[in-house]
């Protein structure tokens, strides 16, 4: 059975357009309640959201559907996505629900689920939930309806969880940190975590109004963070996305440090501290310099499809603990069950404090290769490598790069586009190759 509504990160869309409507959310809550409760009479779900205005609407509709299925709900209010994963486990809940569209603008929203172990639902469970959407909504008996309650101490619990991922023998005292919360779900907890660990914190984008989430701020728009780091003469800047599962950093010079660089720093720290780290998972978009750096440490490196869901699948299959994306999704499975931007940033800070070094100094160990991508609009989404001329040209470029570069051609999952990417050590060589490949794709498929 193919999933009709669940994508790689739950159900997502524009608010007011199907399926992001109150009617659908009601039925989804009921369907999820029937599946996730597993027939248990005391089933419960924890539910949190980011700061979008539409979160109120979807929260109420989901709560009603869950109650109709006989499932009780703990309402957490605005909380980062990884906080819901943690609190699902902490409260021994049947499942966790997050109302968020992550780094998207305010007019989008989404609904995603965590299993009782704090990890994303398997495809089979999402398919089972979808199978209930077309069934009649049969309300549980009047004495078996689910209850709803506010969990007032949720923020404090999560703050302590994050702090526990930082060694208690170290402190952030003396560190000047700018924290950009994207007017999103981390706006209350993230500044508290860093200040309680001793840092001097300067907050930006921490005043959500329901409409300004991710607007020219946060991990997807770090220019404001760059400016703030320079203004405050800070040692480091940390930017999160709207739901708190992506992190991008800025060093004291105002230079942006992406997920690839941060993962290498965490891997190096793990090895030096004697952790059982055997390999790292990246994605098709991870810079080749990251791959080479990981291998030079004596670790294995594999690439998953783009998306933290696929990184997680590779980690679970191999029994590995560290992976992520250059966009800032970083999974430290020795610390938590899902991508957690605050926890990941604390792992980087652990290294900087322990080594008494700066982010500027630490990033010297990874010199990223030039990576250039051109989007080519085509008639329809097809596999470009099925074309013999294109495949031959790709193999020719790969031979010219001689193992010190990569070529990636992939179809967009949402638009009739072919993404043509080439990376290598020489910028001019990369630029020449990517332009020629893009023109060949255009002439062959457009």
263/251 same-domain check: no
Active site residue 337: no
What pLDDT, on the 0 to 100 scale, is given for residue 244?
98
Shared-domain flag, residues 120 and 237: no
pLDDT at 40: 60
Written as six digits, the tokens of 339 are 């991508």
Name the residue with tokens 């109120």: 56
28/120 same-domain check: yes
Average pLDDT value for the chain: 95
Match 């809550």 to its residue by tokens: 29
Positive/negative CA dihedral, 381, 329, 430, 298: negative
CA distance 339 to 105: 21
Q: Which H or E run contains 180?
A: strand 176-180
The pLDDT value recorded for residue 39 is 58
Domain range spanning residue 308?
A: 259-365
Q: Note if the bond before 19 is cis, omega within 30 degrees.
A: yes
Q: What's the pLDDT at 298? A: 97
Task: Check whether 261 has a pLDDT greater than 90.
Answer: yes
131 and 53 share one domain: yes
Mean pLDDT to the nearest integer, 209-218: 98
Given this model, what pLDDT does residue 38 score?
66
Final residue before a domain boundary, out of 329, 345, 365: 365
Q: Cβ of 395: how many Cβ atoms within 10 Å?
A: 12
The average pLDDT across 187-191 equals 98
- One domain for residues 104 and 235: no
My answer on whether 101 and 212 are in the same domain is no
Annotated catalytic residue, options 44, 54, 72, 102: 102
DSSP state letter for 386: G
Among residues of the chain, what percentage have pLDDT more than 70? 98
280 and 249 in a single domain? The answer is no
**Residue 150, beta-bridge partner list:** 75
Closest to 81 (Cα-Cα) out of 315, 273, 291, 342? 342
Identify whether residues 90 and 132 lie together within a single domain.
yes
pLDDT at 9: 85
Which residues lie across from 109 on neighbouring strands? 13
Residue that terminates a domain, selected from 123, 153, 183: 153
Domain boundary pick from 236, 255, 274: 255
Query: What CATH code is carried by the domain that includes residue 228?
Result: 3.40.120.10
Write the CB contacts of 88 (distance below 8 Å, at least 6 apart in sequence): 46, 95, 96, 114, 115, 116, 118
Element (H, E) at 68: helix 55-68
For residue range 60-81, list pLDDT tens digits in order.
999 999 999 999 999 999 999 9
> In whole angstroms, what is the distance from residue 404 CA to residue 356 CA?
33
Q: What does the pLDDT average to over 258-277?
A: 96
Calpha distance 197→173 (Å, rounded) = 7
Strand order in the sheet with 417-424: 371-377, 417-424, 405-411
pTM (2 decimals)?
0.93
Residue 335 has pLDDT above 80, yes or no: yes
Opening angle at CA 211, ends 208 and 215, nearest 5: 80
CA 109 from chain center: how many Å?
15
pLDDT of 364 reads: 87
pLDDT at residue 2 greater than cutoff 80: no
Could you tell me if 15 and 140 lie in one domain?
yes
């Amino acid at each position: 059975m193919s999933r009709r509504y669940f994508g790689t990160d739950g159900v997502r869309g524009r608010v007011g357009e199907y399926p992001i409507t109150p009617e659908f959310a009601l039925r989804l809550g009921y369907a999820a309640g029937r599946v996730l409760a597993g027939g248990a009479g005391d089933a419960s779900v924890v539910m949190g959201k980011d700061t979008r205005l539409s979160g109120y609407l979807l929260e109420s509709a989901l709560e009603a559907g869950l109650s109709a299925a006989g499932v009780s709900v703990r309402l957490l209010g605005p909380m980062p996505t990884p906080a819901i994963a943690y609190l699902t486990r902490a409260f021994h809940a049947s499942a966790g629900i997050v109302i968020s569209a992550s780094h998207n603008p305010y007019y989008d929203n989404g609904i995603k689920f965590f299993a009782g172990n704090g990890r994303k639902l398997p495809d089979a469970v999402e398919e089972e939930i979808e199978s209930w959407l077309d069934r009649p909504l049969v309300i549980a008996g009047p004495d078996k309806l689910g209850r709803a309650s506010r969990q007032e101490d949720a923020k404090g619990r999560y703050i302590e969880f994050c702090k526990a991922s930082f060694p208690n023998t170290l402190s952030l005292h003396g560190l000047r940190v700018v924290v950009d919360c994207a007017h999103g779900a981390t706006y209350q907890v993230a500044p508290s975590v860093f200040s309680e660990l001793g840092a001097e914190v300067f907050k930006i984008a921490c005043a959500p109004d329901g409409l300004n989430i991710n607007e020219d701020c946060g991990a997807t728009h770090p220019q404001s963070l760059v400016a703030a780091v320079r203004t405050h003469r800070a040692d480091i800047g940390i930017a999160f996305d709207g739901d708190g599962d992506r992190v991008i950093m800025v060093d004291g010079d105002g230079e942006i440090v992406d997920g690839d660089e941060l993962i290498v720093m965490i891997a190096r720290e793990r090895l030096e501290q004697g952790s059982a780290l055997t390999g790292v998972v990246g994605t098709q978009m991870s810079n080749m310099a990251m791959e080479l750096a990981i291998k030079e440490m004596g670790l294995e490196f594999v690439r998953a499809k783009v998306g933290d869901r696929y990184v997680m699948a590779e980690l679970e299959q191999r029994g590995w603990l560290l992976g992520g994306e250059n966009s800032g999704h970083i999974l430290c499975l020795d610390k938590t069950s899902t991508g957690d931007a605050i926890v990941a940033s604390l792992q980087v800070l652990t290294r900087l404090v322990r080594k008494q070094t700066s982010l500027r100094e630490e990033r010297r160990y990874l010199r990223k290769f030039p990576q250039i991508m051109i989007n080519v609009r085509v008639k329809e989404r097809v596999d470009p490598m099925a074309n013999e001329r294109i495949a031959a040209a790709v193999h020719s470029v790969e031979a010219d790069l001689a193992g010190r570069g990569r070529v990636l051609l992939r179809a967009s999952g949402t638009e009739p586009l072919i993404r043509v990417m080439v990376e290598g050590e020489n910028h001019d060589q990369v630029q020449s190759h990517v332009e020629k490949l893009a023109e060949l794709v255009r002439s062959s498929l457009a």
